[in-house]
Structure 1
Amino acid sequence: MTGANRIAGAGRLTPAKTARFTFDGKTYAALEGDTVASALIANGVHLVGRSFKYHRPRGILSAGPEEPNALIDVARDTARKQPNVRATVQEVFDGMKVESQNRWPSLAFDVGGINNAFSPFFAAGFYYKTFMWPRAAWEKVYEPFIRRAAGLGVAPTEEDPDHYANRYAYCDVLVVGAGVAGLAAALSAARAGAKVILCDEQPEAGGALHFDKGVTIDGQEGYAWAQAATAELSTMENVTVLTRTTAFGYYNHNFVGLAERVTDHLSRPDRKLPRERLWQVRAKRVILATGAIERHMVFANNDRPGIMLASAARTYLNHFGVAVGRKIGVYTANDSAYEAAFDLKRAGVSIAAIVDCRERPGEKVLSEARSLGIEVLTGHSVVDTKGYRRISSMKVVRNGGGAARSIPVDALIMSAGWTPSVHLFSQSRGKVAYDAETGRFLPGTYAQDCLSIGACNGTIGLQATIEEALAAGDLMARATGHQSGAKLELHGENAIEWTGGMAGSAEGAGADTTVKAFVDFQNDVCAKDIRLAVREGMHSIEHIKRFTTNGMATDQGKLSNIHGLAIAADMLGREIPKVGLTTFRAPYTPVTFGTLISHSRGDLFDPARKTPMHPWEEAHGAVFEDVGNWKRAWYYPRSGETMHDAVNRECRTVRDVAGIFDASTLGKIEVVGPDAAEFLNLMYTNAWDTLKPGRCRYGIMLREDGFVYDDGVVGRLAEDRFHVTTTTGGAPRVMNHMEDYLQTEFPHLKVWLTSTTEQWAVIAVQGPKAREIIAPLVEGIDMSNEAFPHMSVREGKICGVPTRLFRMSFTGEAGYEVNVPADYGQAVWEAIWAQAEPLGACAYGTETMHVLRAEKGYIIVGQDTDGTVTPFDAGVGWAVSKKKTDFVGIRGLKRPDLVKEGRKQMVGLLTKDPTEVLEEGAQIVADPNEPKPMTMLGHVTSSYWSENCGRSIALAVVAGGQAKLGQTLYIPMPDKTIAVEVSEMVFIDKEGVRLNG
């Protein structure tokens, strides 16, 4: 047996295909294609969870992604567990282990249920008031208790054994939603030749056709037509059909994120298949056919198990073949709930009564109800219910007063109307508009190239929806450059066209406003909580949302937002649009971390990048450090050497002979185009149109606020080509910075940017014998000082391979940076090393590079600057052009605070005790005896022992530093105070003679 509530002959599942699963340890049978929710209802299980705050018994409310109650923990084995899965969308597979959440020790008897008895003390906002006093109790009492109580499911403790995939896709037209509207639009666009992606979150296409049996399209039953249309689309080469795929985020430039559930429905998935796949789709045009979500009625105790949406009951009957009860009550504010009652009645289920809070429903539905013998109570409201683990009766009262009537039921279905699903439209930055006639928010002003069609656009009527969809598909195909195909015509008929409107009241006319009438089921927000928020002074819906937590549960207010808004508007005496609308944020439904992370976990979570010379460096004993994602040689210790010994030796060798250094990690960007010089003029502080081909220049890049963003040497290879270098850690952000300005601020410039960081291996050869080392290996380049002066670049060959050879230095010595294609990096390095080693040169690492550059007063952006330093503060004001009228940051540099006297400026520091090495980050004061809090003048940015200077050296930013040259300042440390003299930044070869070798 697969459940006593199965209706013979109903539904679309095959009785021969069964699956077994457990719920809280008890085994149940299901049919293949069941969701956990439909299988539990089939087996008579209605109590499935507990609410978050009051721990009230909760049942299945919906049949889709809007479900707030039926959140479950799903396990395939001990290592594969996932909490907070919606039972209404999780398909059953054989061997599935399901557990309820947020209860102890059991679902039937939950100790947390005592919260319900104390609910008067837990009114909205209680935590803001209660936990503020006494203040000392927060960390010791309140916070630990709240953290233990927070959350619903329990996070897995085992490592996730599954793998995930990621795919980038491009299409002409992306259609979101495969109901009638989405299918018709996809057919229209595809037949016109457009490349189409159609996605839908359900296992099969059809949308509302899953429950609406009274639909006929082109002579076929609606659901059958949907499957035939899907089959046709699936055979087209220009169409990709993705089921079990949710469009969860709509971002800039028609970029849409899709989450595909690949194997979550399989009992024994192929281990080669990913569990879920993230699709990152860039579409020329987007068609949103996301439908509408049915709203619940707000009345006392409307949360008992067995109370659900009318469309959900209809889905369980017509698609899954399951009756949600045997004696069902109906409470509605519009015509659509009648169809659910009619379908249930025809299936042999008793309908106790249809309670309609309207005085005048549509005559068609009233006539049909009379013919089926269903009692209809118009102008009445359900004001309360009874039952614990399941509803047992509903209390009905005539609007305006009168005697109450108790009607026994074992299920109650309800409908307060339909809310267009405008979530993705809103995420696209589109502005919704309020339709006062129907009481709905509809797509208004579009911000991107998309169209909303069907129910999400407020369209009522099957034929109207089809015609709108066909026109949209054809329009979007033509907009992407395709000719219209043969005109597609579809004709649809519906048994009952809704005439009562799509909207309904937030509360029944007879509702008691003092009892628990739930608006947000998961967070236990009642109508009275919304009213309390208004009385407490919350007049914006955003404030009300945060005060009450309405709409902040995992369903993101899909059912509750409009109700909360309507109740607040009523309390404030304002029209609904005046109260505002909460923000719809991505994701539309929860997305697993695995899907978002994909392969980026374990060793791939933060991939280590290695230069082409890494194997050689490793073989020669290099100790590595992490710089961004890169593994960089830190120093090369010889036998018996400490790190300091090795660095001191390397520093002496570079200045006395030469050293070779792996600089491949420097960011490299190719800037090409007729407007390349003009573009760089705008991106950097100094001028580039005056730079001759074959020459280099040091450049400073600013943020808009005038502070240093990055620096590097730029070489001009030709009139229209520049080779730009950046800091190692700054390469990605500088590329993004440039691309952002090129696309948004300077789109008129003909410039192309290409990241070439990994294309070039860079070998820096520095020291007095640098030219002697590389000259024998170089072909086609005159290496003389006259022909190849400092700050030049030439193209030729080295060791027979192409090279871009830069004459530049970050040590103050004669230096060259050899750029060769990365594949040849190690071979060229080894050839250079073969020349260098006999001369007594060494390989040196990043620590030595830091010391050498500090000896020359060269700054490192990100170490000596902290985002609040201008070029003038850093001592490189000479790199700011006085002639240029515009560049990024020029207005920021003119701000009064950035030009006033007394700003922190970069200076050198010499300790009074030459052997004392300062700590980087140490604070600097003028008077060591000043009472606390002391006035901090600045801090140490770089500090080293300099073997070449025979003493310690440091760089620092000091308030009014240039005016304090020669003065003594102090650095208070925990055990002593260190006296320092403020000096110039250059500590060695101040005249720059050594640059020429």
Structure 2
Amino acid sequence: MTSSRLSKGGRIDRSKSIRFTFDGKAYSGHPGDTLASALLGNGITLFGRSFKYHRPRGVFAAGSDEPNALVTVLSGDVREPNVRATELEIFDGLVTQSQNRFPSLEHDFMAVNQLAGPLFSAGFYYKTFMGPAIGPLKGTRFWMFCERFIRRAAGLGKAGTAPDPDRYERMNAFCDVLVVGSGPAGLIAAEAAAATGARVIIAEERPLPGGSLLGSGEMIDGRNPAVWAREKADALANLPNVRFLTRTSVWGYYDGNVLTAVEHVSDYKPNRTKGMPRQRHWVIRSGKVILATGAFERPIVFPGNDCPGVMLADAVRRYAVEYSVAAGNNVTLFTNNDSAYDAARTLSIAGVNVIAIIDVRSDVSGTCRDIASVAGAELLLGHAVTATHAGKTLSSISVQHFNAETGRVSGAPREIKTDCLGVSGGWSPAIHLASQAGSKPEWDEDLQAFLPPEPNQNWVMTGSAAGYMDTISVMSDAATKGSAKARLILPPVEAPMLDSSPAPVFEIEPAVKSQKAFVDFQHDVTADDIRLAYREGFHSVEHLKRYTTLGMATDQGKTSNVPGLAIMADVRGISIPEAGTTRFRPPFTPVSLGALASERYGDLRPHRLTPMHDWHLANGAKTYEAGLWHRPMIYSSHGETIEQAYIREARAVRDSVGIVDVSTLGKIDIQGPDAPELLDRVYTNMFSTLPVGKARYGLMLREDGIAFDDGTTWRLGETQFLMTTTTANAGPVMQHLEYYLDCIWPELRVHLTSVTDVWAGSAISGPKSRAVLESCVTGSKVDNDTLPFMGIVHGKIANVPVMICRLSFSGELAYEVYCGAGYGAQVWEALLAAGKSFDIIPYGLEALGTLRIEKGHVTGAEIDGRTTAHDLHLDWMLSKKKPYIGSAMINREGLKDENRLSLVGLISLDNQSINGGSHIVTDPNPREPADSFGHVTAACYSPALGKYIALALVKHGTSMIGNRAFATDLLRDKHGAVEIVSHHMFDPEGSRMHG
């Protein structure tokens, strides 16, 4: 193995060695190395395989824009996939492996995909999804056949399943000025801000300040730029009003100048200090933001441009200057702009052999010619690379004459022996954060790049991020007044300046197409894929992105975005700004789930417990979460299954009496002289006519006419009501009412108070429920005359004041008993004691659901944000005497279409259970059923009917009653015959409830 380490230079510490492994082989590097630089220093050029074609890929960049060199980091049983080798700092004991290959990186069986290139072209997945039944696949859609193979091949790195042992932190920070980036522009901007006494935070994603360090031929104030940056950073870090965060990537920009960042605290340490987090997630709220985020070098699209050994020119320079690594023994540069000449000058000074500079332009400045001459590089003007040749890595390139005006190559190709090709297609300012902040990029014709427009939040861009590629640019006084692009010129650099404007060349089309020309390296998107997307009608850049997956990989198109847009603009015959650009969105760089969650892992939701919770647990209740509440599911007895338990409980309610904890229902106290008017406006039915001491069932709609929530509201006085809501909608209904009172009807004199936690509730249901109450209630009678259906009385149970309303969710004679939450368990136990002689039992949510399904009562499973009162057969509640929220929209044509899904009941015909979520079909074939015309919302075994039943939403609703169909669940391999019946499957007349 040949070392590519240069004899001097770089920021590495040559006095120490670090041992690490890659694909099971041991290597050594130095402190300051990344995995990419260390492997290059060991002569390794093959880093991974591409996503789709499994082509061999080498390192391409030197930072967060790296698309190829993704590795998995192993730590015992823990594996972290898709880590950029260009950003992974090596440490003793680091274990890494390449990805997306089998059985090995050098010999990957899936490389056979390259032979099937046309099959994997743009839109492959979409076309496969829609594939017809063909040939031997009769009876099975093409996708069903392909799915298992696609899923097995999909993805990049393999995620681990072992628990993450590391700790993560989260921090909130406030500052006057946040500077993102610590290159020369960022450092001087931070210095100017700190001098005013402002609280400053500087965030730098790399370990050291200085940005992409200037070439060693350029000096700042007569000093090496690395030394200058270090001294400037040290001075800033020692100021009391400055916080300097290195290894910190700002990944999101949100409204109100809120930015998010991840600090890599100890990823790079072999033995993380006890108590030290691995990463720290920052939420930073800043008065002003200075974006000194730099720029990304772009590639040029040409045949064979993904060959290992082809890199960005500035990456070749950075590996030499920062890590003292020669990316090749004989380096060639291919460019359309002057920045590659600066790279040539720097490489030559560092001791790297530059043999040729190939420039698509027919003429360059005298400075460029001098640089090529001093570097000893052959200068080929008006030429382009049209092919690469390789064994395991790049061995030579083909070069032909190129006419930049016509975009055509001509003449016989010339072969140049080279093992590293540095490519520079111009620079794209890193405007991602500015775009996230809400700004739409604007095209700059001179730079051939997108720049941000004037900001709509308090931020300013500076340096190359603002488009100043020809010099170092920083914030000036004008920047504080809101200019998006501001600059101050530093003391002149001690080297000739080069022109930053590139020739508008993004792609080289060969005379004979023999190799693929890649635009997006990580997702294997080629120039031909973009042209195919155009031919198939995907002209919009947003459609192009999704159809080809251009820019959708982990690098988010940092190198591929502009070349891809340029090619689409070319085939459409329009300019790049006319073609437009996709918008950048968070995250700027990948963020680990551990950092996002930080300390918030495990079950961190607030656990809401009813006053009777301890009693439930002590008496065999198995609970589950309903919203934030823990509620009894069943009360198990003698090893019963869940089904056996809920059947027993539901049968007991039908036969005698049961008690259920309903403390979780949302409860809102509504008071004020306009309370009746408010209820008339928010409910579909009338409440202002409700007598004091009575309750009424009500339905709420959204503004669009869709059902929102249902529940009962009790009139406790002329101007006081107690509204109950479903458990899950307690919060949303409260917000709904507050919004309308605050924003729409501020003139209404109404006061709302959430009292869900104030009242404990017990519902007793069944034929003997009245007898139970009569034996324990004092201070009021509970006979039919005193307490009719929907009536309210006040009394005492066990000397505790209670409020009792006669209403039923089970379809049985039933009552809800409310008392102060502190007395909930006392009243609960008193009711159980009073019902002992009547064989009372507690029942849980499964039995409660069974009882409501038998009766056809709806819950959130049916009020799912898509159904209307008509769909749920609740249109009898729609008042014609008053307007209400949603009344203007309820009769829209689409909401009364006969093809809408509406509520029905189902009865199993083969005594099989019915799965919730099953589709309703007419085809008896369980393997390939016909199209669905509905779905199951809730299902159970009915002890009252002795059958498996369900509620469902189906097309044509009640007109389907009497028909037979099939409930099919392909995921759980269930397919059973059912009869469609009325949703009122038990006691449809309601005689038991009113008895």
Distance change in 2, residues 1:282/1:259 (3 Å) = same
Q: Which residue of structure 1 aligns with residue 569 of structure 2?
A: 569
Judge conservation of contact 1:923–1:939 (CA < 8 Å) in 2.
yes
Distance change in 2, residues 1:909/1:391 (3 Å) = closer
Map 1:812-827 to 2 at 5 A.
Answer: 815-818=815-818, 820=820, 826=825
> Offset at 1:772?
6.5
Pair 1:152-2:156 in alignment = yes
Q: Which residue of structure 2 aligns with residue 321 of structure 1?
A: 324
Q: Which residue of structure 1 aligns with residue 770 of structure 2?
A: 768
Structure-2-length-normalised TM-score: 0.79
Distance 2:913 2:546 in 1: 52
Distance 1:613 1:21 in 2: 58
> Offset at 1:419?
1.0
> Offset at 1:58?
2.1
Q: Which residue of structure 2 aligns with residue 203 of structure 1?
A: 207
Which residue of 92, 97, 102 maps to 2:95? 97
SS in 2 for 1:383: strand
Distance change in 2, residues 1:242/1:742 (3 Å) = farther
Distance 2:858 2:241 in 1: 52
Distance 2:330 2:503 in 1: 24
Distance 1:359 1:443 in 2: 31
SS in 2 for 1:444: coil
One-letter identity of the residue aligned with 1:441: F
Judge conservation of contact 1:863–1:942 (CA < 8 Å) in 2.
no
> Offset at 1:268?
1.4
Q: Which residue of structure 2 aligns with residue 482 of structure 1?
A: none
CA offset digits 1:670-697 (Å, max 9, x no partner) = 8899999888766543577888999866
SS in 2 for 1:246: strand
Q: Which residue of structure 1 aligns with residue 441 of structure 2?
A: 432
Structure-1-length-normalised TM-score: 0.79
Judge conservation of contact 1:314–1:344 (CA < 8 Å) in 2.
yes
Q: Which residue of structure 1 aligns with residue 614 of structure 2?
A: 615
> Offset at 1:617?
0.7
Distance 2:57 2:917 in 1: 56
> Offset at 1:428?
4.1
Any unmatched runs of 5+ in structure 1?
A: 478-487, 927-931
One-letter identity of the residue aligned with 1:518: F
Q: Which residue of structure 2 aligns with residue 589 of structure 1?
A: 589
SS in 1 for 2:450: strand
Distance 2:227 2:674 in 1: 59
SS in 2 for 1:208: coil
CA offset digits 1:746-796 (Å, max 9, x no partner) = 8999999997766765444674367768867x9xx9999999999799999
Which residue of 880, 884, 890 maps to 2:887? 890
Which residue of 405, 427, 448 maps to 1:418? 427
Distance change in 2, residues 1:573/1:978 (3 Å) = closer
Pair 1:664-2:663 in alignment = yes
Map 1:936-955 to 2 at 5 A.
Answer: none
Distance change in 2, residues 1:506/1:399 (3 Å) = closer
> Offset at 1:94?
0.9
One-letter identity of the residue aligned with 2:105: L
Judge conservation of contact 2:803–2:819 (CA < 8 Å) in 1.
yes
Judge conservation of contact 1:623–1:633 (CA < 8 Å) in 2.
yes
Pair 1:560-2:563 in alignment = no
Map 1:433-452 to 2 at 5 A.
Answer: 433-444=442-453, 450-452=459-461
Distance change in 2, residues 1:701/1:417 (3 Å) = same
SS in 2 for 1:604: coil
Distance 2:309 2:87 in 1: 18
Map 1:239-278 to 2 at 5 A.
Answer: 241-250=244-253, 256-270=259-273, 272-278=275-281
Pair 1:14-2:13 in alignment = yes
Which residue of 68, 82, 85 maps to 1:84? 82
Distance 1:182 1:719 in 2: 67
Distance 1:117 1:916 in 2: 49
> Offset at 1:332?
1.7
Q: Which residue of structure 1 aligns with residue 354 of structure 2?
A: 351
Q: Which residue of structure 1 aligns with residue 650 of structure 2?
A: 647
Distance change in 2, residues 1:794/1:333 (3 Å) = farther
Map 1:950-961 to 2 at 5 A.
Answer: none
Distance change in 2, residues 1:194/1:10 (3 Å) = same
Identity %: 41
Q: Which residue of structure 2 aligns with residue 61 of structure 1?
A: 60
> Offset at 1:88?
0.5
> Offset at 1:418?
0.5
Q: How many residues align?
A: 957
Distance 2:209 2:746 in 1: 42
Map 1:463-478 to 2 at 5 A.
Answer: 464-467=473-476, 472=479
Any unmatched runs of 5+ in structure 2?
A: 404-409, 923-928, 967-974
Map 1:450-849 to 2 at 5 A.
Answer: 450-460=459-469, 462=471, 464-467=473-476, 472=479, 491=490, 493-495=492-494, 499-507=498-506, 511-512=510-511, 514-516=513-515, 517-534=517-534, 538-545=538-545, 548-596=548-596, 604=603, 610-624=609-623, 627-628=626-627, 630-636=629-635, 643=645, 644-654=647-657, 660-667=659-666, 684-685=683-684, 698-714=697-713, 725-731=724-730, 734=733, 762-764=761-763, 767-768=769-770, 807=805, 809-811=807-809, 815-818=815-818, 820=820, 826=825, 829=828, 842-849=841-848
Distance 1:255 1:921 in 2: 41
CA offset digits 1:238-266 (Å, max 9, x no partner) = 76554333333445665544344343222
Distance 1:498 1:223 in 2: 19
Distance 1:365 1:57 in 2: 34
CA offset digits 1:139-179 (Å, max 9, x no partner) = 68644443343333333354444454555666666554443
Judge conservation of contact 1:102–1:152 (CA < 8 Å) in 2.
yes
Distance change in 2, residues 1:356/1:848 (3 Å) = closer
CA offset digits 1:470-524 (Å, max 9, x no partner) = 65468699xxxxxxxxxx9994544458652344444477854624333222344
> Offset at 1:38?
0.9
> Offset at 1:63?
0.5
SS in 2 for 1:314: helix
Q: Which residue of structure 2 aligns with residue 929 of structure 1?
A: none
Q: Which residue of structure 1 aligns with residue 295 of structure 2?
A: 292
Distance 2:718 2:209 in 1: 57
Distance 1:171 1:674 in 2: 48
> Offset at 1:20?
0.7
Q: Which residue of structure 2 aligns with residue 214 of structure 1?
A: 218
Judge conservation of contact 2:661–2:761 (CA < 8 Å) in 1.
yes
One-letter identity of the residue aligned with 2:614: P
CA offset digits 1:158-213 (Å, max 9, x no partner) = 44444545556666665544434445555556666766654343233432347677
Q: Which deviates more from structure 2 when the two are superposed, residues 296-305 or residues 17-26?
A: 296-305
Q: Which residue of structure 2 aligns with residue 106 of structure 1?
A: 104
> Offset at 1:417?
0.7
SS in 2 for 1:563: helix
Distance 2:932 2:564 in 1: 53
CA offset digits 1:711-731 (Å, max 9, x no partner) = 234568999998654323344
> Offset at 1:35?
0.7
Judge conservation of contact 1:919–1:940 (CA < 8 Å) in 2.
no
SS in 2 for 1:892: coil
Judge conservation of contact 2:73–2:95 (CA < 8 Å) in 1.
yes
> Offset at 1:899?
5.3
Distance 2:823 2:491 in 1: 67
SS in 2 for 1:425: helix
Q: Which residue of structure 2 aligns with residue 481 of structure 1?
A: none
Judge conservation of contact 1:677–1:688 (CA < 8 Å) in 2.
yes
Distance change in 2, residues 1:632/1:579 (3 Å) = same
Q: Which deviates more from structure 2 when the two are superposed, residues 754-763 or residues 104-113?
A: 754-763
